[in-house]
Amino acid sequence: MTASITLSARNLNRRYGQRDIVQNVSIELKRGEVLGLLGHNGAGKSTTLQMLTGILAPNSGQIEVCGIDLQRHPEQAKAHIGYLPETPPLYRDMRVDDYLSFVAKLHRVAKDGLAATLAETKRRCGLEESGRKIIGTLSKGYQQRVGIAQAIIHNPEVIVLDEPTVGLDPAQIRDIRTLIRELGDAHSVILSTHLLSEVENLCDRVEIMQKGRLIYGDSSARMQQYGHQPGFVVTLLAPPPLAELEDIAGVEKVEVLSGTRFRILHAADTQTSGVLLALAAERGWQAQQLTPLKGSIEDVYTQITENEPA
């Protein structure tokens, strides 16, 4: 395993009875990136994460964490993992400080560094004022912060988060996303989600899971361009005949939206918008506004999943 790869899973399979829940899944997680495992509920995301963290054993396949075989040396490998399940493993009747100190001891954080570790973890998770509070009295957003704190208190190289923002309100989601993005700068983070906005806001790279199989993988930026037809909408106050627009180099289709607005689709890697604006200035078309088309990530996700054969 190269130094930049912190987690590697190859050909993972998991069955329940006669049903294949996860089929031939291979994933690599690089240091300093946030990888999103995207898919509908029931796609196999949580089962995959449970295998990656050693909670479930795969029926076949291999997992390495920082170069350590998870099945052969589970204790050593798990020392490099921090895990937040979909339901945070919190003792609701404990104070935040007591709970995090307990978790730190389970992770064998040195006693002489425990106070400093606790203080730093609370700072990173925005829990400085919550140490003496009973966990059960905290809002769901703050309980989620405690859940993340228990996952990172031993400073693991790999952080695994299962649906980390599910059930939170918009303000809480914003705060947790900021925290996760910061964690991605110093650790490797893999998170599962069925929320497409999570991909846009958090993830460097995306793997899409459907019916237990990975069907697509690429950077978040390239995913958003998947199947996207380049084009723009332009307003021309004195538009020419439609044929003149259609004759511009690279133009593939012109759609009339109104008397002065046109949607123009063009070939990739062409400077069609620049050519049109130059012609508009030269011929007096009075170009007022040009807005590039951007496909929504919802459309992209639908296209990818619907194109996959059953």
Rounded distance between C-alpha atoms, residue 197 and residue 203, angstroms = 10
pLDDT at 18 over 90: no
Cβ atoms of residues 248 and 275 within 8 Å: yes
Provide mean pLDDT across the span 41-45.
91
Q: Residue 226: what pLDDT?
A: 67
60-65 and 5-16 beta bridge pairing: antiparallel
Residue 308: the pLDDT is 63
DSSP-derived secondary structure letter, 264: E
Q: The domain that contains 269 carries what CATH number?
A: 3.30.70
- For residue 200, name the pLDDT band (cuts at 50, 70, 90): confident
Same domain, 194 and 256: no
Number of domains composing the chain: 2
Residue 308 within any structural domain of the chain: no
70 within a domain of the structure (yes/no) = yes
Same domain, 215 and 126: yes
Q: What is the band of 225 on the pLDDT scale with cuts at 50, 70, 90?
A: low
Look at the block and give the residue holding tokens 């589970």. 74
Helix/strand/coil for 19: strand
**Per-residue pLDDT tens over the stretch 128-157:** 999 999 999 999 999 999 999 999 999 999
What are phi and psi for residue 32, nearest 5 degrees?
80, 20
Distance, in Å, from the CA atom of 34 to the CA atom of 267, rounded to the nearest integer, reads 32
Quick check: 278 pLDDT over 90? yes
> What's the rounded Cα separation, in Å, for the pair 200 and 173?
13
101-130 pLDDT tens trace = 999 999 999 999 999 999 999 999 999 999
Stretch 173-191: mean pLDDT: 91
- Cα 68 → chain centroid: 25
Q: What is the phi/psi pair of residue 163, to 5°?
A: 50, 60
Q: Are residues 245 and 185 in the same domain?
A: no
Are residues 206 and 266 part of one domain?
Answer: no
- Residue whose tokens read 């069609």: 272
Instruction: Report residue 295 CA to chain centroid gap.
Output: 18
Residue with tokens 């930026």: 221
Q: pLDDT tens digit string along 158-170? A: 999 999 988 888 8
* Distances, alpha carbon 110 to alpha carbons 106, 113, 154, in Å: 11, 5, 10
Given a cut of 70, whether residue 13 has pLDDT beyond it is yes
| 302 domain-assigned | no
pLDDT for the residue numbered 295:
64
Q: Over 90: is that where the pLDDT of 223 sits?
A: no
pLDDT in tens, 285-308: 999 889 888 766 777 788 788 766
Assess whether pLDDT exceeds 90 at residue 172: no
Q: Which of 187, 206, 224 is where one domain is finished?
A: 224
Tell me: do 30 and 51 sit in the same domain.
Answer: yes
Residues 128 and 256 in one domain: no
* Average pLDDT over the chain, rounded to an integer: 91
User: Is residue 265 a contact partner of residue 252, using CB atoms and an 8 Å limit?
Assistant: yes
Cβ-contact 43, 211 below 8 angstroms? yes
Domain end among 224, 243, 278:
224
Averaged pLDDT for residues 275-282: 94
104 part of a folded domain: yes
* Whether residues 11 and 77 fall in one domain: yes
Give the model's pLDDT for residue 303: 77
Same domain, 220 and 240: no
pLDDT band at 1 (very low <50, low <70, confident <90, very high): low
Q: Given this model, what pLDDT does residue 228 score?
A: 64
CA distance 260 to 240: 10
In this structure, the answer to whether residues 242 and 108 fall within a common structural domain is: no
Instruction: Evaluate the CA torsion angle 251, 257, 258, 263 in order and state its sign.
Output: negative
pTM: predicted TM-score of the whole model, two decimal places: 0.78
Identify whether the C-beta of residue 77 lies closer than 8 Å to the C-beta of residue 66: yes
pLDDT of res. 161: 95
- 157 & 253 share domain: no
**305 belongs to a structural domain:** no
310, part of any domain: no
| Whether residue 119 sits in one domain with residue 219 | yes
What is the domain extent for residue 236? Answer: 231-293
Q: Show which of 224, 252, 281 is a domain's final residue.
A: 224
How far CA 131 is from CA of 115, 118, 135, in Å, comes to 12, 10, 9
69 and 164 co-located in one domain? yes
181 within a domain of the structure (yes/no): yes
Does 75 have pLDDT greater than 70?
yes
Domain annotation covers residue 128: yes
List the CATH number of the domain containing 158. Answer: 3.40.50.300
